[in-house]
Structure formats: structure tokens, C-alpha cells
Amino acid sequence: MTNVLPVTEARKKLLNLVDEVNDTYRRVDLTKNGRVKATLVSPDYLDSLEETIYSLENSMVDIEEAEKEFKKGNYITLEEIEKRLRKAPLKKNAR
């Protein structure tokens, strides 16, 4: 749930808002003249978003290649994997 506040009101409640975003991971959108101009989020939440973006950006080549292979029919279903695993002999751990 997002909390939306005018900047003037947020100014009065800033210390509490900082605690709120840190404790609840909720964002607080700050408005000026009725339009969102800034958002307060916890640093952990921001880190999580940045990590997700980084992962997606660095996975796009693999995702695009997988989509091409899928369109060509080059894939294996979960049922086929399960079938192969049932047939495969169990290997003992080498220590």
C-alpha cells in the first residue's frame, strides 16, 4: 500500500515517515500541486529493486536466446524431465 502525501504535510511528519518506510517497506509518494514529485523508500527496498534491475539487464541475452529456442520447439517439458529422472540410475556420492 502506498501512502500519498503533499510535500507540505510530509515536511511536518518527515521523521515519522522515515521510520515508517524503514519499518514497513511501504513507499510514500510526495506530491506537489497534486502530482507525485518524489517517493520515499527504505534503503533495503531500493537495494532490492536495483539488484532485480541488474539481474534482468544481465539476463536479457539469455532470455532472448531461450525465447528463440522455445519458438523453434527446442525445449523439454517438466513431464519429460520427470520421466528421464525416474529412468536414470541413482549415483552414489563420490567422496
Homologous superfamily in CATH for domain 3-87? YefM-like domain (3.40.1620.10)
pLDDT band at 4; cut points 50, 70, 90: very high
Q: What percent of the chain has pLDDT over 70?
A: 96
pLDDT band at 94; cut points 50, 70, 90: low
Structural domain boundaries in the chain: 3-87
Distance of CA 6 to the CA centre of its chain: 28
Report how many helices (DSSP H) and strands (DSSP E) the chain contains, helices first: 4, 3
* Over residues 71-77, mean pLDDT: 93
pLDDT digits (tens, 9 = 90+) for 9-53: 999 999 999 999 999 989 999 999 999 999 999 999 999 999 999
